Amino acid sequence: MSSSDQSFWYLENIDVRGIFCPNKISNMVGDNNHHHHQTVFQKGDYIYLPEEDSKKVFFINNGKVKIGTYGPTGKEITKVVIGAGEVFGELALVTSGKRKDFAIAVDKTEVCAINRSDLKIMMKDHSTLSLFLMQIMGSRQLEMEQRLESLVFKDSRTRIIEFVHNLGEKKGQRVGYETVVRKFMTHQEIANLTATSRQTVTTILNELRNRELITFNRRRLLIRDMDTLAREGKVTD
């Protein structure tokens, strides 16, 4: 399996691209009254906003999407930044109300969407699809709890190093003793996700680079040794 294939989610014989992307779903639903949409969003375009009806679940075919919300003062709070092969808007399956968060394209992004009613029909026919979506919701909840714990108990430096380590675990590809993360995030994106400043992120990343623990540019992050980085940030299982 190529590295690009590995970026997509699979469960047994369920290819999530085949469910969400319209050029591959013609045989999944029996009539033409079901609506599946494939849309290209430019950088900075909103895919949905708070208070919009929660009717669709989305799949990222290419690009990157930021999910966030706005605090009482209007300050933007980033929840997660996700990329190709990932699903978002999944809470549409458990509520028919209004959305509480927003989704915005970080880069030029191709998104496939499926109506809640259509997806529920498919879930009845494919138990593994139901499991897949349950795992997404569970993992997102766990990730938010871990981030909250990190914000309360860890300092800025530890949060940033822990974030880089976790990014390597979740998105990285092992090459010998090293781990490569392609399409590395911007310093501002990391700052938003770790509740730090861009300047602090830059300082910590440069420190790690000077100590030859990592190297990075706009296209990729290379972690020299995951275990060493884990010890540096006192990351524990």
What digits encode the pLDDT tens for the residues 55-95?
A: 899 999 899 999 999 888 888 888 888 888 888 998 888 87
The answer to whether the CB of 80 falls within 8 A of the CB of 193 is yes
Decide if 47 contacts 103 (C-beta within 8 A).
yes
CATH number for the domain whose boundaries are 155-232? 1.10.10.10
pLDDT, tens digit, 9 for 90 and up, residues 11-49: 444 566 767 775 544 444 444 444 567 889 999 999 999
- Where does CATH 2.60.120.10 sit in the chain? 3-152
Quick check: pTM over 0.75? no
> Average pLDDT over the chain, rounded to whole?
82
Predicted confidence (pLDDT) at residue 236 exceeds the cutoff of 70: no
* 3-152 fold: Jelly Rolls (2.60.120)
Q: Please list the residue range(s) of the chain that carry CATH number 1.10.10.10.
A: 155-232
Assigned token pair, 188: 């501002």
Asked if residue 110 lies in contact with residue 61, where contact means CB atoms within 8 angstroms, the answer is: yes
